[in-house]
Structure 1
Amino acid sequence: MGTSRDDDPRQRVVAICSALPEATAESGQHIVFRVRGKTFAYYTDDHHGDGRLTFQCKAAPDERQALLDGDGRRYFVPPYVGPRGWIGVYLDVPDVDWAEIGQLAADSYRMVAPKRLAAQV
């Protein structure tokens, strides 16, 4: 019995991010999502042996801090990109809020996409 898209965090993140205008995905163990060459999100699986599934994206400073303050077990500052304003979300926890993942992806996309494309989201 296979895993449905609704049960598979990788497939759900791909569906969310790929739905954004001109978004591309470079896939391997991890997935990099870009719009016109600019990265707006990552999906990571066991990054450097941490054993976790995560979604990472750019976030406005106030939103990032509110997420971290609100639930430090679900959200984290990711290595490498965290100091540049990124937030991480663990996807291997109960009750992932997929609507919130979609909103975070859209917000991050709007931060890096050309204005014409950002306006479509």
Structure 2
Amino acid sequence: MAHPLMFEASDPHLRRLRDLCLALPGAAEKIAHGRPNFFTQKVFAIFGGSLKGEHFAPVARRALLFLPDASERDALVQDERFFVPAYVGPSGWLGLTFHGFGVDDVDWDEVGELVDMSYRNTAPARLVRELDAR
């Protein structure tokens, strides 16, 4: 049985995130567990998630889930916009909430840097080299 969709296809935050993710070499999108996942061989970004024990928390429903560098993780969680998501959080992933922020209020350069970091942490070396050659 498939998961129900847990996002709105017309969400402007998703559209902006999709543009950033799919511009990376070899990136594609698939729906998994009811949410858009962006991947090469492994997932590097997810739109939306949940908190442990709270599957429909507004802070996580509209968010970027990403895998930061281990050296950056502690600093990021000090910022109230970031959270540890359920399921992928124990593997080092973080979430950046878009809840309460209009699409024009989000720092998309920062989002792009987080997506880039996560991509580099998960993509095959040949794709990272292709990205660096751009």
Cα 1:76–1:118 shift into 2, 3 Å? same
Report the counterpart of residue 35 of structure 1 in structure 2.
40
TM-score (structure 1 length as normaliser): 0.83
Give the counterpart of 1:63 among 59, 66, 72: 72
Q: Give 1:97's aligned amino acid.
A: D
The Cα offsets for residues 53-91 of structure 1, whole Å up to 9 and x where unpaired, read as 11001011221111111x12x101111111111110001
Other structure's SS at 1:32 match: strand
Does residue 78 of the first structure (1) align with residue 78 of the second (2)? no
More strand by share: 1
Separation (CA, whole Å) in 2 of partners of 1:76 and 1:53: 12
Structure 1 residue runs of 5 or longer lacking an equivalent are none
1:120 is displaced (CA, Å) by: 2.4
Does residue 104 of the first structure (1) align with residue 118 of the second (2)? no
Count residues with an aligned counterpart.
113
Other structure's SS at 1:119 match: helix
1:39 is displaced (CA, Å) by: 0.8
Other structure's SS at 1:55 match: strand
**Of 87-96 and 107-116, the range deviating more from structure 2:** 87-96
Q: Give 2:116's aligned amino acid.
A: A
Q: Give 1:22's aligned amino acid.
A: G
Separation (CA, whole Å) in 1 of partners of 2:29 and 2:66: 14
